Amino acid sequence: MDERSSGATYAASGVDQSAIGEALAALLSSVRYRPPPSHGRPVAAAGHFAGLVRIGRETIALTTDTVGTKVQLAAEVARWEEVGEDVVGVNVNDLAAVGARPSGLVDTILLERPDPSVLRAVGRGIDRGLRAAECALLGGETAVVPSIVRGMDLGGTAVGFFPRGRRPVTGAAIRPGDVILGIPSNGVHANGFTLVRKLLADSRVDVAQPGPSRRGSLAEELLRPTRIYSRAADALADRPETHGFAHLTGGGVRNLVRLHPKVAFVLDPWPTVPPIFSYLQRLGNISDEEMFQTFNMGIGFAVVVSPHRLAETRRRLGRAGAPDARPIGRVARGQGVSVPALGLEYSAYR
Amino acid sequence: MDERSSGATYAASGVDQSAIGEALAALLSSVRYRPPPSHGRPVAAAGHFAGLVRIGRETIALTTDTVGTKVQLAAEVARWEEVGEDVVGVNVNDLAAVGARPSGLVDTILLERPDPSVLRAVGRGIDRGLRAAECALLGGETAVVPSIVRGMDLGGTAVGFFPRGRRPVTGAAIRPGDVILGIPSNGVHANGFTLVRKLLADSRVDVAQPGPSRRGSLAEELLRPTRIYSRAADALADRPETHGFAHLTGGGVRNLVRLHPKVAFVLDPWPTVPPIFSYLQRLGNISDEEMFQTFNMGIGFAVVVSPHRLAETRRRLGRAGAPDARPIGRVARGQGVSVPALGLEYSAYR
C-alpha cells in the first residue's frame, strides 16, 4: 500500500458518500408529484444550495441542514454556544449561496434528555448567529426522543427572499475569464466531524491540549463556529458582475461544480492552509485529495465575479465584513474543479 | 393508589412535558435578537402552530416537526410509506392551522445507515403526502450519522403562504357562541408513540395480531398515516365566519387553548372514540385525562366557526374532502378546554 491509500478517508470513518447518494436517489425517484401553480411555482435550480419557489409576488429560498456530529465534540467538552451558532450558519450560508437574504429560521432539536443549562447555551449561540445573519427565529421543534438520539441533534431550516428587483444567483452567468474570490473560513466549521472524531479517537488525542494555532485548546479550535457570509453575499447579490456564490461545506471545493457544469474552476493559488487542517491531515495521514473534498481548507465561501469589477467587488466585500476576501482562482474552459499546485482534479460534486 | 394514578402516563414513558417546557424556555430566553425590517417582519402569533413572517408583499408561514418515535414501530415491521406520508402531514397540518396554503417542503432524514429500499418507500409516502397537500418537495438533507441516531429520524419543514387577500387565521376572532367542528383523524397519527411503544413492550404485545378495528394488523392500524387537512382548511380560510383552526397533535385537545386564551372550549358531545384508542387505554390502564391530553382521540383537526354559517361551512368541508366533519362542541365564556361528559378540564396547552 502506498502512503495515500493507507491514509484515513471520510468514507472509512463511516460516511460513504456514494452509498448516501444511492439512497438519496432512491428517495427522490419516488417523489414525482408537482403541485398546481396555485400552490406556488418551484424555480428550477438543480443541485443548488437552496430550494426556490415563487409564491405570489415573491421568490422564497428554503434550506435545511444540521450541525451533524460536531455536536458530539461539543458534548465532550460541554461547550454549546458554538454549535448553537452553527445551526444558523450552516443554513443561512446556503441561502447566501443563492443570493437570498435571510429572513427566518426554525430550529429542530432532538434530545436524549432535556437540560435547561445546555439549551440556554445553545440559545445564546443561536442568538449570536441570528445577529450575524440579521435573521429572526420563527419557531422550532424540541423533541425528547431518547430511543432515537444519543446526546443531541441540532438542525434547522432557514427561509430567505430576494429583495425587490433581485434575481437568484445561480451561477448560470459564469463564464471563462471570471475571477474566483475566496472568503476565509473560521476553521473546520461543521463538516467532516465524523472523520475528525475518528482521527482524535484513533490517536487518543486529548482535546484539552493546546490547538495547532495556539489560540485556545484543540477542542476550542475545532469548535469555532461557522463564519456567516450573509452580509457579504447580500452586498453583492444585486450586482450584475456577481456571477456565482458557493458555500464550501460538506464536499469541500467540489461545491463549485454545483454552480455550472460546463466551465472549469481552477483554484490557483490556493491560500496557505490554516494549521488546524494541516494538523488533522498529519494525524490521519490523509491525502490532499481527501482533505480538499471533505474540508473547507481555509476558504468557506467563494464568489465568482467578472474580472472587470474585481476591485469594486472587493471594496463592497470589505464594507460587508469580509475585507479578507482574496482571489483564489479563475474560471476557464473545461469542466470540474482543480487545484493545479497539488495536482487535484474533481469532476463532480459528489 | 387509586386506579387512575396507577395507570400509564406519557411522562412515565419518558416524555416529561414540564421538563421539556423548562428546557425550551431556557433556550428561548437566550434568543433576543430581532432583525431590521429589511429582513422581513415577523408577525406575532404567540404559541401558534406556525411561525409567520412578512416578506416583501407576501406573508410566509413556516413550521417544522418530526415523525418522532413512530418511525421505530415502522422499522419493527419494515413498513415505511406511512411514516413518509406523516412527515408531510405533521407539517402541512400545522400550516393549515393558521390558514396557510402549503407550497413547499424540505425533509431532514437522519440515518444510522443508508438503505435505498427503505428510502424509496419513504419517498413513496412523501409523494402521497405531497399529493394530498398539493405541495412541492423543494429539497432536503439526508445525513448518515450512526453515532447520533439509532435507526432513523424523519423530520421536515414546510413553507406556506396566504393567497391574495387572505389573512392568517389565528383564533383572535373566536367568541362565545361559536361552534367547534371536528374532522376525524385517521388513527393515532404521529403523536404519543413513545407511550404507545412502552405499552406494547410492557404487555409483550405482538403487533402482527389483528388490530382492534379488525382492519389489518395492530401495526398497520397504529401506522396509519396522518390525515392531511390542507384542502379542508384552504376551503374555509378566506371566509370571515371561519374564526379558528386547531391541529390536534401532541397535547391532544389542549391544542385548542393555543387559539384563544380567554374563551372556554367545551367539547360536548365528544364523538365515539375509535377502537384503537380504547385498546391503548385498556392496555395501559390509562386515565381519560391522560388519553385526551396525549392523543387525538379520533378528531385530528378542529374548525371554530360562527353558528350562523354552520351549514355552509359543512358544505364547503364536504366538497374539500371532509364530509365527515361534525360538531364536537361550542365556545363559551371562561377559559381552557373541557370534556364535560368525562369530567375533564385543561387550563393550558402544556
A107: chain B residues, CB-CB within 8 Å:
64
How far apart are the C-alpha atoms of A302 and A96, rounded to whole Å?
11
How far apart are the C-alpha atoms of A30 and A26, rounded to whole Å?
7
- What stretches in chain B show pLDDT beneath 50? 1-5
Task: Kindly determine whether residue B150 and residue A151, on different chains, have CB atoms separated by under 8 Å.
Answer: no
Q: What pLDDT score was predicted for residue A350?
A: 74
- Condensed to tens digits (0 to 9), the pLDDT of residues B271-289 reads 999 999 999 999 999 999 9
CB of A33 less than 8 A from some CB of B? yes
Chain B: residue whose CA lies nearest to A16: B144
ipTM score assigned to the predicted complex: 0.92
Q: What pLDDT score was predicted for residue B75?
A: 97
Which residues, listed in sequence order, are joined to residue A155 by a DSSP beta bridge?
A66, A108
Task: Kindly determine whether residue B142 and residue A15, on different chains, have CB atoms separated by under 8 Å.
Answer: no
- For chain A positions 116-135, those within 8 Å of chain B (CB to CB) are 116-124, 126-127, 130-131, 134-135
* Distance from the A39 Cα atom to the nearest Cα atom in chain B, whole angstroms: 5
Q: What pLDDT score was predicted for residue A132?
A: 98
Note if the bond before A269 is cis, omega within 30 degrees: yes
Helix, strand, or coil (residue A289): helix
- Condensed to tens digits (0 to 9), the pLDDT of residues B224-254 reads 999 999 999 999 999 999 999 999 998 999 9
Among residues B13, B65, B90, which one has the least CA distance to residue B301? B90
Q: What pLDDT score was predicted for residue B46?
A: 60
Q: What pLDDT score was predicted for residue B4?
A: 35
Sheet holding A242-247, edge to edge: A242-247, A299-305, A179-184, A326-332, A264-267, A336-339, A344-346
User: Which residue of B40, B130, B138 is in closest CB contact with A104?
Assistant: B40
Mutation site, A17, A62, A249, interface B, largest B CB count within 10 A: A62
B120: chain A residues, CB-CB within 8 Å:
26-27, 29-30
CB of A141 less than 8 A from some CB of B? yes
Mutation site, A38, A39, A91, interface B, largest B CB count within 10 A: A39
Going by C-beta distance under 8 Å and a sequence separation of 6 or more, which residues neighbour residue A132?
Answer: A85, A88, A89, A228, A230, A231
B51: chain A residues, CB-CB within 8 Å:
104, 106, 138-139
- For chain B positions 277-296, those within 8 Å of chain A (CB to CB) are none
Mutation site, A32, A52, A55, interface B, largest B CB count within 10 A: A55
- What stretches in chain A show pLDDT beneath 70? 1-6, 45-47
- CA distances from residue B242 to B89, B135, B140, B312 in whole angstroms, order as listed: 22, 23, 34, 11
Among residues A201, A199, A202, A224, which one has the least CA distance to residue A211? A224
Q: What pLDDT score was predicted for residue A97?
A: 97
Domain range annotation of chain B: 179-346
* Distance from the A31 Cα atom to the nearest Cα atom in chain B, whole angstroms: 5
Out of 3.40.50.11440, 2.30.42.10, 3.90.650.10, 3.40.50.1980, the CATH code matching B179-346 is 3.90.650.10
B155: chain A residues, CB-CB within 8 Å:
108, 141, 155
Which residues, listed in sequence order, are joined to residue B136 by a DSSP beta bridge?
B104
CB of B57 less than 8 A from some CB of A? yes
Out of 3.30.420.40, 3.90.1150.10, 3.30.1330.10, 3.30.300.30, the CATH code matching A46-161 is 3.30.1330.10
Q: Which helix (H) or strand (E) holds A111?
A: strand A101-111
Q: Do domains A46-161 and A179-346 have the same CATH topology?
A: no
User: Which residue of A16, A40, A104 is in closest CB contact with B51?
Assistant: A104
Task: Kindly determine whether residue A33 and residue B131, on different chains, have CB atoms separated by under 8 Å.
Answer: yes
How far apart are the C-alpha atoms of B140 and B105, rounded to whole Å?
8
CB of A28 less than 8 A from some CB of B? yes
Average pLDDT, chain A: 94
User: Which residue of A32, A119, A163 is in closest CB contact with B23?
Assistant: A119
CB of A42 less than 8 A from some CB of B? yes
pTM across the whole model: 0.94
B149: chain A residues, CB-CB within 8 Å:
148-150, 153
Task: Kindly determine whether residue B20 and residue A163, on different chains, have CB atoms separated by under 8 Å.
Answer: no
CB of B137 less than 8 A from some CB of A? yes
B139: chain A residues, CB-CB within 8 Å:
50-51, 62-64
Note if the bond before A42 is cis, omega within 30 degrees: no
User: Which residue of A53, A66, A127 is in closest CB contact with B30?
Assistant: A127
Among residues A129, A74, A81, A80, which one has the least CA distance to residue A105? A129
How big is the A-B interface in CB pairs under 8 Å? 315
Going by C-beta distance under 8 Å and a sequence separation of 6 or more, which residues neighbour residue A227?
Answer: A89, A183, A184, A185, A186, A189, A300, A301
